[in-house]
């Protein structure tokens, strides 16, 4: 194993360093999925594990080598059954841009005289493609892949989304966005609460964090959710163990888990359930393991950028898993790029924006190529935007409102909120005022995309406005 994360393009060392540690810490923190006493044991499957390993070994090459569809006949009965049920279920993907992205460098107010005044170092050069719904804004050329999707009517842009009384702490503001309320004490995520209502007790993949730690938006109170770095890396390793002994060892996970579950001891029951749930997840993801003897380098489908970090691979894993019939419902991914650009913003920001934009385009094209694009909607967000006035270190400090996007074939593709301009769009602290509220966005996604009343999921839903997000 190697060090799990090398945050790239992070101007603020402290953020990335602490984030690396936080990934682990949050996994143990509040609001994690409880593995509750009484949860049914994972359903047995008709296929022997050994057969499954053999059947999947060749398929792994197919998936990673050619990016072609898998043969559903190869799946175990249990997964196939879940796939049937989930075949038409909508999937919501949440993409978190870490660290607070400088929205004014994604869609920039070209021609606003205050822009070059605020951004003497960092202003994007004139000439970017105008933003059709408000030509006082222009797309950063590095965001051209998003602009391309926008031109196809597949992107709803929120130029200044946020909330009243904005908090400028990474931790606090992200927490608000994750839990879907400006409440410090909520310990379940907004998607987690949705899954608690509609989810199944034996399907951890319904809420999938592609990360080392649970993404807080997926924190449930009751239903199981899964946390994996990549489907190909949900991999158990015991040194000096392979072959038949390894296969039998996984069977022993379940037997040992059963010893815990059959006890009357809550600690042992919890441990036993974790063992069995993890083994269930392992079998669900077996088909993504590189075949024995294969090098671990994987080829992503066409279009995804070649990156040193795992963001493109994590996004590419979603269409693969859906194509394989895995029962996903809500998926959460965080960029490895950290947008907390307090100093020397230009170069790392450019690299990160380019990678994220290309990945989002490749992801949408991947879904379309597989005929899955009608099922997936992606919301792209960050905990805040940055201050319009750049600082003395050629960087930008924490701001208030920032940008978000809803992307997909079914996205309505029209602007939510508006761009007020720099002369009238700033609050007394010099930050961007919000023209859309993230809680309203969540209510709208729940009701129009996931088909579930936001009442009971988003606090105060009845008082919140709704936007049209789906066509």
Q: Looking at 228, 333, 353, 458, which residue binds other proteins (CB under 8 A)?
A: 228
Q: How far is CA 290 from each of CA 194, 247, 343, 356, 406, rounded to the nearest angstrom?
A: 33, 16, 40, 26, 33
Closer CB to other proteins, residue 266 or residue 424?
A: 266
Q: In the window 188-207, what residues touch other proteins (CB under 8 A)?
A: 204
Q: Which are the contacts of 231, defined by CB distance < 8 A and separation ≥ 6? A: 285, 288, 317, 320, 321
Tokens found for residue 222: 């009751």
| Whole-number Å distance between alpha carbons of 125 and 183 | 40
Binding mask 266-305 for other proteins (x = CB under 8 A): xxx-xxxxxx-xx--x------------------------
Tokens found for residue 369: 């190529």
Closer CB to other proteins, residue 213 or residue 406?
A: 213
Q: Looking at 38, 46, 243, 293, which residue binds other proteins (CB under 8 A)?
A: 243
User: What is the closest distance, in whole angstroms, from the C-beta atom of residue 403 to other proteins in the complex?
Assistant: 25
Q: Looking at 47, 256, 350, 394, which residue binds other proteins (CB under 8 A)?
A: 256
Q: Looking at 246, 309, 343, 427, which residue binds other proteins (CB under 8 A)?
A: 246
User: What is the closest distance, in whole angstroms, from the C-beta atom of residue 204 to other proteins in the complex?
Assistant: 6
177 part of the interface to other proteins, by CB under 8 A: no
User: What is the closest distance, in whole angstroms, from the C-beta atom of residue 296 to other proteins in the complex?
Assistant: 15
- The alpha carbon of residue 68 and the mean position of all alpha carbons in its chain are separated, in whole angstroms, by 23
- The alpha carbon of residue 29 and the mean position of all alpha carbons in its chain are separated, in whole angstroms, by 19
Stretch that binds other proteins, among 11-19, 100-108, 133-141, 458-466 (CB under 8 A): 11-19
Stretch that binds other proteins, among 254-262, 316-324, 345-353, 448-456 (CB under 8 A): 254-262
Residue 218 sits at φ, ψ, to 5 deg, of -95, 5
Closer CB to other proteins, residue 100 or residue 408?
A: 100
Binding mask 404-423 for other proteins (x = CB under 8 A): --------------------
Residue 211 sits at φ, ψ, to 5 deg, of -170, 175
Closer CB to other proteins, residue 138 or residue 226?
A: 226
Is residue 142 within 8 Å of residue 350, measured between CB atoms?
yes
User: What is the closest distance, in whole angstroms, from the C-beta atom of residue 219 to other proteins in the complex?
Assistant: 9
User: What is the closest distance, in whole angstroms, from the C-beta atom of residue 12 to other proteins in the complex?
Assistant: 11
- Nearest CA to 317 out of 91, 40, 55, 102 is that of 91
User: What is the closest distance, in whole angstroms, from the C-beta atom of residue 230 to other proteins in the complex?
Assistant: 12
Q: Looking at 236, 347, 374, 456, which residue binds other proteins (CB under 8 A)?
A: 236
Binding mask 116-155 for other proteins (x = CB under 8 A): ----------------------------------------
- Nearest CA to 111 out of 133, 92, 94, 127 is that of 127
User: What is the closest distance, in whole angstroms, from the C-beta atom of residue 387 to other proteins in the complex?
Assistant: 20
Size of the site for other proteins (CB under 8 A): 73
Stretch that binds other proteins, among 75-83, 124-132, 262-270, 407-415 (CB under 8 A): 262-270
Stretch that binds other proteins, among 21-29, 75-83, 350-358, 441-449 (CB under 8 A): 21-29
Q: In the window 316-345, what residues touch other proteins (CB under 8 A)?
A: none
User: What is the closest distance, in whole angstroms, from the C-beta atom of residue 138 to other proteins in the complex?
Assistant: 36
Q: Looking at 48, 117, 152, 263, which residue binds other proteins (CB under 8 A)?
A: 263
User: What is the closest distance, in whole angstroms, from the C-beta atom of residue 171 to other proteins in the complex?
Assistant: 7
Q: In the window 25-64, what residues touch other proteins (CB under 8 A)?
A: 25-35
Strands 330-338 vs 91-98: parallel, antiparallel or unpaired? parallel
């Amino acid at each position: 194993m190697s060090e799990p994360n090398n945050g790239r393009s992070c101007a603020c060392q402290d953020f990335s360093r602490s984030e690396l540690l936080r990934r682990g810490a949050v996994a143990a923190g509040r609001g994690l999925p409880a593995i509750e006493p009484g949860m049914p044991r994972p359903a047995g499957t008709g296929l022997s594990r050994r057969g499954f390993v053999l059947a999947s070994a060749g398929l792994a090459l197919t998936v990673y080598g050619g990016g072609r569809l898998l043969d559903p006949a190869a799946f175990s009965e249990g997964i196939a059954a879940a796939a049937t049920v989930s075949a038409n279920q909508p999937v919501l993907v949440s993409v978190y841009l870490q660290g607070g992205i400088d929205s004014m460098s994604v869609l920039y107010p070209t021609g606003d005289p205050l822009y070059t005044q605020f951004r003497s170092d960092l202003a994007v050069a004139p000439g970017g493609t105008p933003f059709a719904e408000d030509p006082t804004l222009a797309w950063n050329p590095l965001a051209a892949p998003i602009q391309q999707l926008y031109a196809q009517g597949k992107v709803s842009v929120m130029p200044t989304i946020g909330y009243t009384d904005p908090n400028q702490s990474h931790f606090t503001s992200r927490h608000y966005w994750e839990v879907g309320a400006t409440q410090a004490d909520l310990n379940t995520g907004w998607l987690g609460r949705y899954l608690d209502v509609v989810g199944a007790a034996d399907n951890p993949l319904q809420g999938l964090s592609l990360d080392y730690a649970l993404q807080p938006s997926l924190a449930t109170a009751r239903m199981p959710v899964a946390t994996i770095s990549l489907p190909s890396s949900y991999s158990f390793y015991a040194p000096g163990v392979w072959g038949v002994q390894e296969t039998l060892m996984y069977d022993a996970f379940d037997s040992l888990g059963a010893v815990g579950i059959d006890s009357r001891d809550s600690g042992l029951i919890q441990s036993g359930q974790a063992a069995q749930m993890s083994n269930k997840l392992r079998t669900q993801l077996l088909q993504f393991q590189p075949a024995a003897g294969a090098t671990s380098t994987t080829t992503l489908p066409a279009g995804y950028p070649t990156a040193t970090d795992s963001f493109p691979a994590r996004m590419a894993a979603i269409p693969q898993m859906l194509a394989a019939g895995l029962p996903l419902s809500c998926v959460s991914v965080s960029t490895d790029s950290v947008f907390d650009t307090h100093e020397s913003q230009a170069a790392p920001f450019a690299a990160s924006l380019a990678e994220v934009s290309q990945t989002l385009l490749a992801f949408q094209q991947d879904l379309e190529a597989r005929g899955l694009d009608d099922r997936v909607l992606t919301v792209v967000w960050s905990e805040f935007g940055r201050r319009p006035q750049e600082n003395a270190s050629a960087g930008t400090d924490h701001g208030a409102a920032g940008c978000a996007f809803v992307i997909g074939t079914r996205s309505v593709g029209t602007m939510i909120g508006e761009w007020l301009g720099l002369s009238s769009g700033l609050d007394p602290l010099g930050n961007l005022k919000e023209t859309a509220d993230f809680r309203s966005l969540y209510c709208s996604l729940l009701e129009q995309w996931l088909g579930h009343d936001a009442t009971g999921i988003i606090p105060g839903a009845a008082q919140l406005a709704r936007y049209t997000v789906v066509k």
